[in-house]
A and B are shown apart, each in its own frame.
Chain A
């Protein structure tokens, strides 16, 4: 009986394991436009989806995007539910302790403070303010380390939820990736503005990958290098970030 259960379990796992070798599953959040979002068809779309597909094509892999909440995206990678994370995740030393990263596919880019226009928020002297971040991001860690003493740090599950609270006046400012905020500020027709100086954290955005997946990592990195060299990456950045950059080519 025990043998039977074991065999059944083994078959079950092997079945999904062999399936896994055919398709590379890439996790994304689907709530961080224009990096990744769910389009009108209900499917993942955005810079990372286009780039991921281009890389997979180059590397001869079949890829599939899956949606996973941001706060459990690393544990579920470790658990082997998917093989890669492409979710606007910045490369940091702290994350490097648990997972590996591909080379970056988005150059290091400053994080920015955004506030309602004319609210007079001064990030150089933030005190008694409500600062919104997305929980588990580099900005959350930065705010916790540098701003927590004199301000209230409010952590949200998605960046969009934080934006909703900022729009409704429940936050004084949000600290987030510049490339996430800039299209929003541009589209707000003057309702939102950047305040203060940029904060440079992280080594750019890369794909998260389990430490034991060296083969996949090499394949991914090689394809990414080739796409950087032939300008595809910069073209996609220009397409999704509306000519803003930053670009890899000087």
Chain B
């Protein structure tokens, strides 16, 4: 028991990195996703094609490869671009490139969710808004968006949990700077020291599980608030969804 508690303590600094990666990429990924979803629904052929292609490519390839590819790509621009701009030390830092790749990745998945929700917005409501003489931006802000976010929220919650789990592979693909180690690297290093897989990996798993539950809980609260106008609205269950 004592051993278990020390172990929990050892992992506490590590979970901060996973949380950082997730928290840094969630808002950015959200914004990117909204743009991509609107792009995919756009009538402009070029924007439409580009958004579709981007979403398809980033959903169709492994995050692990995306990490390797984008890091080495960024590295090859170092001498020509980042160095002269003086941002080299930051651009190639795992704390920057990690959230960057996660954002690009989750942006694509979230965009697909939002696009699906966008298509599910009741046509009648949009027509009514138009009949009221709302402008296009008014229509979006006051009718489409509130509908969209309510429709998409359960799936989006699920995507955030997937994203948090995806932070586990950041340091398998990127260099480790000093003592900045996340849950997986910590577990792996401890395991390499005493070869006790059961203890170290279970504790890391526990942290992931705990944060996942917190995410489900917090996002559930938000969902209840989003749905507060509904009579006995559908409560979101803490059961995770299985789609990505």
Q: Measured between alpha carbons, how far is A236 from B202 in the docked complex, in Å? A: 47
Contacts A135-B176, A153-B177, A155-B176: A169 and B88 contacting too (C-beta < 8 A)? yes
B contact patch SS: helix
Whether A74 sits at the interface, judged by CB under 8 Å, is: yes
Among the listed A75, A153, A170, which residue makes an inter-chain contact with B192, where contact means beta carbons less than 8 Å apart?
A75
What is the interface of chain A, defined by CB distance below 8 A to chain B?
A: 71-72, 74-75, 78-79, 130, 132, 135, 144, 148, 152-157, 161-162, 164-165, 168-170
B42 interface residue per 8 A CB criterion: no
Among A71, A164, A169, A170, which residue has the most Cβ atoms of chain B within 10 A? A170
> By the criterion CB–CB under 8 Å, are B178 and A168 in contact?
no
Q: Which residues of B contact A165 (CB under 8 A)?
A: 75, 92, 175
Within the complex, which residue of B75, B89, B191 is in contact with A130, where a contact is CB–CB below 8 Å?
B89
In the complex with contacts A71-B192, A72-B192, A74-B192, A169-B79 CB distance below 8 A: yes
Q: Which residues 14-66 in B have Cβ within 8 Å of A in the complex?
A: none
Q: Are the C-beta atoms of A169 and B78 separated by less than 8 Å?
A: yes
Number of interface residues of B (CB under 8 A): 17
What residues on A are CB-neighbors of B88 within 8 Å? 169-170
Which residues of B have CB within 8 Å of A75? 191-192, 195
Closest Cβ–Cβ distance, residue A160 to chain B (whole Å)? 12
Residue contacts A-B, CB under 8 angstroms, 29 given: A71-B188, A71-B192, A72-B188, A74-B192, A75-B191, A75-B195, A79-B195, A130-B89, A132-B175, A135-B176, A144-B178, A148-B178, A153-B177, A153-B178, A154-B175, A154-B176, A155-B175, A155-B176, A157-B175, A165-B75, A168-B75, A168-B76, A168-B78, A168-B79, A169-B79, A169-B83, A169-B88, A170-B75, A170-B92
Across the interface, do A155 and B177 meet the contact criterion of CB distance under 8 Å? yes
Q: How close is B13's CB to chain A, nearest CB, in angstroms?
A: 16
